[in-house]
Amino acid sequence: MQFNNFNSADFLRDHWQKKPLLIRNPWKKWHNPLSPDELAGLACEDHVESRLITQTSDDWNAEQGPLPETRFGELDKSPWTLLVQAVDQHVPDVATLIEPFRFIPNWRIDDVMVSYASDAGGVGPHFDHYDVFLVQGLGQRRWQVGGMCNDQTPLRSHDDLLLLADFEIVDEWVLNPGDMLYIPPGIAHNGVAVGTDCMTYSIGCRSPSRKELIGSWCDDLLPHMTDDDRYCDPDLAAQSNPGEISANAIDRLHAMVTEKLADRDEFARWFGQFSSTPRYPETDWRPEEPIEIGHLRELLTAGHPLLRNPASRFSFIRESDDRLLLFVDGDCFPCEGERIALAELLCAQNQIVVDADRIKSDGAVSLLAELYNRGGLSFDWG
């Protein structure tokens, strides 16, 4: 899937993280990559995250998947929506939907959620904490957008859905297949199906909260710290009031914390691993049989392209001109020499044909074999 009529530089300058944008069919040739039946099938599978939202006159009810196959036959005429997360990890044609958005760094992209709604179905007015591109796949949906929300914005009391108590419509459009709406984080929005067979693809981004960054990094640091690294004050001077925690003590205590947290190199390495950790780490994508380097060389020499696992997250951090750290699925692979250009290529393209010089290089092929045997690369993702 490719864009025909979309300027990413203009988009980043004028809209990204700033204001919504409706783009009428920007694709070279839009085709809906998944059928409603295939989506319903995914919602019945154990390892797939899904939700069914059913509506009564003015309320929404959420059921978590996996759904029993019989559930769809029980649905009555009231509007409903089926939402399936990370469909890109299971359907390669849906994964290709992400490719035109690669002007956004890999680590900022989360997944493609796909929704199917019956006539008048929707999840209700809400806001998300992340940027989202809503692509209309099939049928029509009316999107309404409102103002900026935050954690103080009043919500309806609801267990599972973060629905807005008040929603003031600022703009609205009906989207047809191929049309796309970009919504920045925090902007209220509401999508309602117009007619049956309404499918929407949400290419969702990620942006860590400060709370998540500090909490997760500290969790990672703690096991490496020792009990003998302690506050000490051999220069302690007598205090006039023993109750005072002196400014000098606070300075030293605060420095004990901030010195550790200020280690940028350590942070970078941690963040590469943290941000490349798969969304569903429990899923084992390893091949049944590990590949031998010799066999891998043969397949590469025959010109077979290597494909990135759509569920894998690939990023790198450049440490210097002659060293970078490649991160794949929460693991760090320090790369030097010929591995550097290979790591860059793997991060830039979801499919690579390895050239003859690289196939001769032990460093390059052993890296590919390691990634293959961990389930990050394959010759075929079905």
Which one of Co ion, ligand SIN, none interacts with residue 81, CB within 5 to 8 A by kind? Answer: ligand SIN
Three state DSSP letters for the chain? CCECCCCHHHHHHHCCCCCCEEECCCECCCCCCCCHHHHHHHHCCCCCCEEEEEECCCCEEEEECCCCCCHHHHCCCCCEEEEECCHHHCCHHHHHHHHHHCCCCHHHEEEEEEEEECCCCCCCCECCCCCEEEEEEEEEEEEEEEEECCCCCCECCCCCCCEECCCCCCEEEEECCCCEEEECCCEEEEEEEEEEEEEEEEEEECCCCHHHHHHHHHHHHHHHCCCCCCCCCCCCCCCCCCCCCCHHHHHHHHHHHHHHHCCHHHHHHHHHHHHHCCCCCCCCCCCCCCCCHHHHHHHHHCCCCEEECCCCCEEEEEEECCEEEEEECCEEEEECCHHHHHHHHHHHCCEECCCHHHHHCHHHHHHHHHHHHCCCEECCCC
Which one of Co ion, ligand SIN, none interacts with residue 20, CB within 5 to 8 A by kind? Answer: none
Q: How many residues form the binding site for Co ion (CB under 5 A)?
A: 1
Q: Which of 202, 309, 312, 315 binds ligand SIN (CB under 6 A)?
A: 202
Which one of ligand SIN, Co ion, none interacts with residue 55, CB within 5 to 8 A by kind? Answer: none
Q: How far is the CB of 123 from ligand SIN (least distance, A)?
A: 5
Q: Is 128 in the site for ligand SIN (CB under 6 A)?
A: yes
Q: Which of 51, 90, 189, 358 binds ligand SIN (CB under 6 A)?
A: 189
Q: How far is the CB of 132 from Co ion (least distance, A)?
A: 6
Which one of ligand SIN, Co ion, none interacts with residue 312, CB within 5 to 8 A by kind? Answer: none
Q: Is 81 in the site for ligand SIN (CB under 6 A)?
A: yes
Q: Is 179 in the site for Co ion (CB under 5 A)?
A: no
Which of residues 182 and 274 has its CB atom nearest to Co ion in the complex? 182
Q: Is 36 in the site for ligand SIN (CB under 6 A)?
A: no
Which one of Co ion, ligand SIN, none interacts with residue 358, CB within 5 to 8 A by kind? Answer: none
Q: Is 131 in the site for Co ion (CB under 5 A)?
A: no
Q: Which of 42, 123, 205, 343 binds ligand SIN (CB under 6 A)?
A: 123
Which of residues 127 and 285 has its CB atom nearest to ligand SIN in the complex? 127
Instruction: Kindly list the residues in this chain that would bind ligand SIN in the complex (CB under 6 A).
Output: 81, 115, 122-123, 128, 132, 189, 191, 200, 202
Question: Where along the sequence are the contacts to Co ion (CB under 5 A)?
Answer: 128
